Amino acid sequence: MNRIVVFLYLVFITQSVVFSALTEKQMNATKKLIRNTCLNKAKPSSDQVDGLQKGNFVDDKNLQCYTYCVLNTYKLIRKDNSFDWEGGVAALEANAPTNIAGPGAKTIVNCKDAVKTATDKCMAAYEIARCIYDDNPSNYFLP
C-alpha cells in the first residue's frame, strides 16, 4: 500500500514538474492520498483531522504525529525537526495553482520560526501546522 501511495505521489509531482503547476483537482487528490496514508500511520480520529481545518488543534499525540506525517511526506520538516520553509515556498511556487501559491508562500515565510519544541518531531510539526492555520485560516492548505 505504501509503495502505491508513494508512486502516485511521485506521478503527481513529476507531472507538475514536466507540464506545469498542479490543478486544484490534482492537488486535492494528492491531499486525499496523504491524508489517508497519515491517518493509517498516526491513528488520530477523522474528526480530529477534520477539526484542523476549523482551527481545532487539540492536544493529542496521535494528531500531532499525523501533522508530522503530512509535513514529512511533503518534505517540509527536516531531520532536526526544523521547518524547511525555503523548500516549501519553492514547492508551492513550482507546483500549486497561483491562487494557492501566493498566499501559501507568504504564510510559509511568516511561519519560518514556528518550531519551539525541536526535541519532539510530532510537536514541532504540530507547531508548524498551527502557525500555518493561524496565519491564514481561509487558505489552510494541509490535508
- pTM of the full predicted structure? 0.82
Ranges of each domain in the chain:
2-139
Residues 6+ apart with CB under 8 A from 110: 131, 135
Q: Which of 25-29, 83-87, 127-131 has the lowest mean pLDDT?
A: 25-29
Smallest CA-to-CA distance from 65 within 103, 120, 119 is with: 120
Cβ count near 17 (within 10 Å): 11
**What's the distance, CA 59 to chain centroid?**
18
Q: What is residue 23's predicted lDDT score, i.e. its pLDDT? A: 80
Q: Looking at domain 2-139, which of 3.40.50.720, 1.10.238.20, 3.30.300.30, 3.40.50.300 is its CATH number?
A: 1.10.238.20
* Gap between the Cα atoms of 115 and 129, Å rounded: 10
Reported as a single tens digit per residue, the pLDDT across 56-83 is 999 999 999 999 999 999 999 999 999 9
